[in-house]
């Protein structure tokens, strides 16, 4: 950690202040942010890591909410904006310096009578441009999430290794949420009153709550769930929940002993959770 040594300052021994000393203090903050970024996300400061903020893509337009990111040891904010790239363009982020004017701020008159803007706010400006023409592409960013995000139901998110897993009650019987803390993800779920058309080795559900995000588990992780099926023996049991590194965004549920999950109409309930470590990426 960088520090300015002050022990030699004493009455009659004043220390002159140099520009490099300001740089040292600012570089110290960059070191701290870089270390925190790597410790929490396992991403170096060369990777832009989004702390908060989101975007959606519809009709060729990216709707980007206000947010902030860590990059090169600094934290940059940005304002909400809509970006519509033309053919051959992508969404790019550009680090931009904005002078902070006002009483006690810019401009500053130096001892040589020159007037300079020195109080700067460094922000990210999102825009459309050719790949690589900004500081980085949006697609190069990863994320540090906090909070809870519900997974929206759609029939296509439920599958089985054999036959079909369906929910006759639809969204009212589908409760799935994802919590992100750094590189760790916790998935809690309760999916009830399901129908299984054929006996199957496993059932699966996808957690792609946002189509722009892929989750890349760094290792195979296992959790447990309560499985209820009146056609199984026993009818209620603990099942294994698996997130496999080979498949992004997909959670597998299987019986602990390896037996098939029996076919059933409207009586399959699963409830449980799994936590795993992973990397993030954008499509």
C-alpha 157/C-alpha 208 separation (Å) is 8
Residue 46 in any domain: the answer is: yes
- Domain shared by 49 and 120, yes or no: yes
Region for residue 192 given its phi and psi (left: phi exceeds 0; alpha: psi -120 to 50; beta: otherwise): beta
Residues 6 or more apart whose Cβ sits within 8 Å of residue 98: 120, 121, 122, 123
Residue 100 in any domain: the answer is: yes
- Domain shared by 109 and 175, yes or no: no
Query: Does 235 sit behind a cis peptide bond, omega within 30 degrees of 0 on the bond before it?
Result: no
Residue 255 in any domain: the answer is: yes
- Per-residue pLDDT of the chain (283 residues), as tens digits, is 888 899 999 999 999 989 999 899 889 989 998 888 877 666 778 888 888 887 888 899 999 999 999 999 999 999 999 999 999 999 999 999 999 988 889 999 999 999 999 999 999 999 999 999 999 999 888 776 555 677 889 999 999 999 999 999 999 999 998 877 666 778 899 999 999 999 999 999 988 654 445 555 556 677 889 999 989 988 999 999 988 666 667 889 999 988 999 999 999 999 999 887 766 544 4
Report pTM. 0.59
Residue 239 in any domain: the answer is: yes
- Domain shared by 109 and 204, yes or no: no
Domain stop point among 90, 124, 143: 143
CATH number at residue 198: 2.60.40
Residue 7 in any domain: the answer is: no
As a residue count, the chain comes to 283
Q: Determine contact, residues 64/81, Cβ cutoff 8 Å.
A: yes
Q: Please give the structure tokens belonging to residue 189.
A: 């779920």
- Domain shared by 278 and 241, yes or no: yes
Q: Please give the structure tokens belonging to residue 63.
A: 């709707």
- The kind and range of the H/E element at 31 are helix 19-41
Q: Determine contact, residues 160/204, Cβ cutoff 8 Å.
A: yes
C-alpha 105/C-alpha 35 separation (Å) is 31
- Domain shared by 157 and 270, yes or no: yes
Region for residue 151 given its phi and psi (left: phi exceeds 0; alpha: psi -120 to 50; beta: otherwise): beta
Alpha carbon 231 to chain centroid, angstroms? 40
3-state SS assignment for residue 24: helix
Residue 8 in any domain: the answer is: no
Per the structure, the count of domains in the chain is 2
**What's the confidence (pLDDT) of residue 216?**
55
Residues 6 or more apart whose Cβ sits within 8 Å of residue 2: 24, 25, 27, 28, 31
- Domain shared by 134 and 43, yes or no: yes
- Domain shared by 254 and 270, yes or no: yes
Residue 215 in any domain: the answer is: yes
Domain stop point among 143, 164, 189: 143
- Domain shared by 157 and 278, yes or no: yes
Centre a 10 Å sphere on the Cβ of residue 191 and count the other Cβ atoms it contains: 23
| Residue span of the structural domain in which 178 resides | 148-282
- Domain shared by 240 and 137, yes or no: no
DSSP 88-141: T-EEEEEEEEEE-BSTTSBSEE-TTS-EE---EEEEEEEEEESTTSSSEEGGG-
Residue 221 in any domain: the answer is: yes
């Amino acid at each position: 950690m960088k520090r300015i040594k002050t022990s030699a300052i004493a009455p009659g021994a004043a220390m002159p202040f140099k520009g490099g000393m300001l740089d040292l203090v600012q570089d110290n903050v960059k070191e701290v942010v870089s270390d925190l970024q790597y410790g929490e996300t396992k991403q170096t400061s060369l990777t832009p890591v989004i702390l908060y903020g989101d975007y959606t893509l519809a009709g060729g337009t990216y709707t980007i909410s206000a947010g902030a990111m860590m990059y090169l040891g600094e934290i940059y904010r940005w304002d909400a904006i809509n970006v519509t790239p033309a053919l051959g363009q992508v969404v790019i982020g550009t680090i931009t310096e904005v002078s902070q004017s006002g009483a006690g701020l810019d401009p500053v008159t130096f001892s040589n009578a020159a007037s300079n803007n020195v109080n700067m706010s460094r922000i990210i400006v999102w825009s459309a441009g050719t790949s690589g023409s900004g500081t980085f592409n949006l697609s190069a960013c990863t994320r540090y999430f906090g909070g809870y995000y519900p997974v929206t139901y759609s029939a296509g998110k439920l599958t089985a290794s054999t036959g079909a897993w369906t929910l006759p009650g639809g969204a009212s019987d589908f409760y799935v949420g994802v919590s992100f803390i750094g590189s760790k993800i916790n998935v809690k779920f309760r999916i009830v009153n399901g129908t299984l058309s054929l006996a199957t080795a496993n059932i699966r559900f996808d957690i792609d709550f946002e189509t722009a995000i892929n989750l890349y588990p760094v290792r195979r992780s296992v959790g447990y769930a309560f499985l209820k099926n009146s056609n199984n023996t026993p009818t209620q049991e603990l099942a294994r929940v698996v997130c496999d590194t080979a498949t992004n965004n997909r959670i597998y549920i299987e019986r602990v002993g390896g037996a098939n999950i029996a076919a059933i109409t409207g009586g399959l309930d699963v409830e449980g959770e799994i936590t795993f470590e992973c990397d993030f990426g954008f499509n």
